[in-house]
Amino acid sequence: MPKEDLSPIRALRGRDALDAIATTGSADALARLGAAFSTLGRAGEAVDLYRRAIDDYRRERDQRGEAVALFSLGNVYSQRGALADAIQAYAQAVPLYRALNLVADEAAALNCIGLLHAEAGRAETALGFHEQALALLWDAGHRLNEASTLDVIGMTQRRLGDLKAAEAAHRQALGVRRQERDRQGQGGTLHLLGLVYEEQGDVERALAYYEWALRMRQLVDDREGEALTSYNLARLYEGLNHLREAEALLQRAVDIEMRHAHPDAPHDEAELAALRARRKRAGLPPPGDTTGSFPRLKPDEMVDEAGR
């Protein structure tokens, strides 16, 4: 199976809500302790501390602190796989953020709820929450969060089988990222577009967008992304019987994964060994440097397409 780029999901989940907490009151101290125990992997103690902090914030009528502690509690539940509890915590944070007109925070909570519904296999429900978040972010002008939300919407639409809607969402995300000069984000969105085209059966276009993504990722030194896109390209080239090009790309992916102790490394190394054996049986020489051997679309043509 091709590999999906999860960087938009990580971007939506990765915000540090505790940056919004001051350090002046007892509730703040409890929330900070909760964060510390969460970082140590002691989720049970973190949950207890966050709940105590929430009770204190409510007594103090501190809606912002309560919302942040609820969001952080949702993060802990999510990491434990307690999806229903996590959804409930995020859902309680939403109206508090809305009352405080903290649009980006409200959108973050809605996106987290959507991600959890998707994790539970409820893609249609997830899509509704992501669409709500997108509307808030668009109105408020939070462009990079908007782009990540669009990419997650595209990923969800692809899982639902609506590849045209998925393509449209990723293209919109790509336009935002280009306007914001988010080169690393562009690499992820281009990878996701390649995945859409691959599922559509448009191998030529899939290759073009994966190759474009690979160049962008090399440009910004995104090694994890480079390995991911190299792997998908290798699979496509192998399917076209371009075994030397496939081996060079898969070798690149495995080298990066090994350097970073990536969990996919053993599996992908086994795939590389099988591919190398196949190339030898075909009587082909080792690949050497095959970068750019099979260019698909010129960069200016790609830019024109992305801007449509």
pLDDT in tens, 127-181: 999 999 999 998 888 899 999 999 999 999 999 999 999 999 999 999 999 999 9
Judge whether 170 lies within some domain.
Answer: no
Q: Which domain holds residue 5?
A: 1-160
Q: Which amino acid is at 184?
A: Q
Token reading at 201 = 């059966």
If one counts the domains in the chain, the total is 2
**Per-residue pLDDT reduced to its tens digit, 61-84:** 999 999 999 999 999 999 899 999
Q: How far is CA 215 from each of CA 54, 100, 183, 200, rounded to the nearest angstrom?
A: 47, 43, 11, 23
Q: d(Cα 67, Cα 44) in Å, to the nearest integer?
A: 20
In the block, tokens 């307690």 appear at 82
At residue 265, the 3 state secondary structure works out as: helix
Identify whether residues 141 and 41 lie together within a single domain.
yes
- Check which CATH number belongs to the domain holding 19 and give it: 1.25.40.10
Closest Cα to residue 171, out of 205, 221, 137, 140? 205
Rounded to 10 deg, the angle between the 223-239 and 203-219 helix axes is: 160
Say yes or no to pLDDT of 308 above 70. no
pTM here?
A: 0.89
The mean pLDDT of 262-284, rounded to a whole number, is 96
The mean pLDDT of 241-256, rounded to a whole number, is 96
Q: pLDDT > 90: what percent of the chain? A: 78
Judge whether 166 lies within some domain.
Answer: no
Identify whether residues 141 and 207 lie together within a single domain.
no
Cβ neighbourhood burial of 240 (10 Å; 0-12, 13-18, 19+): middle
Identify whether residues 297 and 217 lie together within a single domain.
yes
Rounded to the nearest angstrom, the gap between the alpha carbon of residue 293 and the centroid of all alpha carbons in its chain is: 30
Identify whether residues 67 and 146 lie together within a single domain.
yes
Give residue 25's pLDDT band: very low, low, confident or very high (50, 70, 90). confident
Cβ neighbourhood burial of 124 (10 Å; 0-12, 13-18, 19+): exposed
Is residue 272 within 8 A of residue 254, CB to CB? The reply is yes
